[in-house]
Amino acid sequence: MSYVGPDFEPPRPRRSRRPLTVALAALVPGALLGWLVYQAVGGSDGSAAAGGASTPPAASSASAGRSTPPTGSPDSASPDSASPRSSPGDDGKPTAAAPGATGSEPLAGKVVVIDPGHNSGNFRHTAEINRKVDIGTGRKECDTTGTATDDGYPEAQFTLDVSHRLRTLLEQQGATVKLTHDRDEPPWGPCVDERARIGNTAHADAAISIHADGSATGNRGFHVILPGSVHAGGADTRPIVAPSRDLGERIAGNFVRATGSAPANYVGGGTGLVTRADLGGLNLSTVPKVFIECGNMRDSKDAARLTSGAWRQKAAEGISEGIVSFLRG
C-alpha cells in the first residue's frame, strides 16, 4: 500500500510453534516490540531508524501515535492504469488448501478472515473503485489499484499469494478461514466498507489485511497498522482497539523472527507499529483487525524479498504464528 492517500499510489511502468518465540512476541512491550525482537534474533540487513518520512500526529489515548499517510494507504489512492505483469519468483501455482479440521487442532472453532489488499482487476474498473464510500470519519474511494515494484510486480498479486499461503497454514491449525476475495471473484474490489463487513458477518476471531507499501526508495521494512479509537458515523472501534493492538504486536514480533525484516525506518518510530483512524477497513471493523505492510515495493532491496516465493512463505509463516499466538491467548 503506498502512501498517497489512504491506500496506494499507482505503480510505475514454520509454521514454528516454539513456545519461547511465541511468548516473547506476546510479552514484549508494544513501544519496543519491533526492535527488541529484532535484536534478540541477531538482526539482518536493513536497520530501522527512529522517525521517518511522515510525521505522526498525536497518539490516541488507546494506542501509539498515528502516522500521516505517506503516498498511499490501505484504503485509497490514484488508480493504476497499467495491467499486472507476471510475478518474478512466483511459481504460478496456488498453495493447496489444507484438509478440513478434525476438531482436535489448536484453532478448531476459530474463524480468521484474510483480506488480500486490492484486486488485480481494479485497473479495469476505475469508475467503480473511485466511487466514494462512508468510512465513519468521512468518505473515501471504494478501493485502489495498489502499487507495484519498479519491474511491474503488482501489489495485488503479492497480497493474494501471501493470503493463499497464510490460509493454508491457518487451516492446518484447524481454523476456518475466509478470504474477502479470491482471484477474479469479484472482478474488482470489494470496496473497503464491504471488506470490513465480511469480517464482521463472519464473526471473525481475528482479521488481517495484507499489503505492501509504495513509499520512496530507501524507505525499508514492514509495519503493522492498528485501528485508532474512532466513534463517528457508523464506525466504533473502541471495543476492538485493545485486542487489535495485542494481535498486531504478536504479528509484528513473529514477522521479525520469521522473515529477518526490520521494522520500517520511515514510520512507527522503529516499533513496526502505526496507529491510524483514516482506513475504512479498520474503522468499520467490529472484530479484532490489523493491516500489515510487508515491505516497500519501491525499494530495490525490499522488492527483492517481496518478489521471492521463498520469502513470501516466511512472511505467511510469521503472520500465521502471530495470529495463532493471539487466538491461543
CA distance 133 to 263: 32
Question: In sequence order, what are the residues at sequence separation of 6 or more whose Cβ sits closer than 8 angstroms to the Cβ of residue 32?
Answer: 271
What's phi and psi for 89, nearest 5 deg? 85, 0
Closest to 173 (Cα-Cα) out of 290, 323, 315: 323
Which residue is it, cell 495463532? 324
Q: Give the Cβ contact number of residue 59 at 10 Å.
A: 12
- Cis peptide before 6, with omega less than 30 degrees from 0? no
CA distance 37 to 213: 22
- Beta strand extents in 135-244 (DSSP E only): 139-141, 176-179, 206-213, 223-227, 231-232, 235-236
Inter-helix orientation angle 155-172/309-328, to 10°: 50
CA distance 147 to 155: 5
Strands 139-141 and 132-134, how do they pair?
antiparallel
Point out the residues that are catalytic.
293
Angle at 198 between CA 145 and CA 296, to 5 degrees: 35
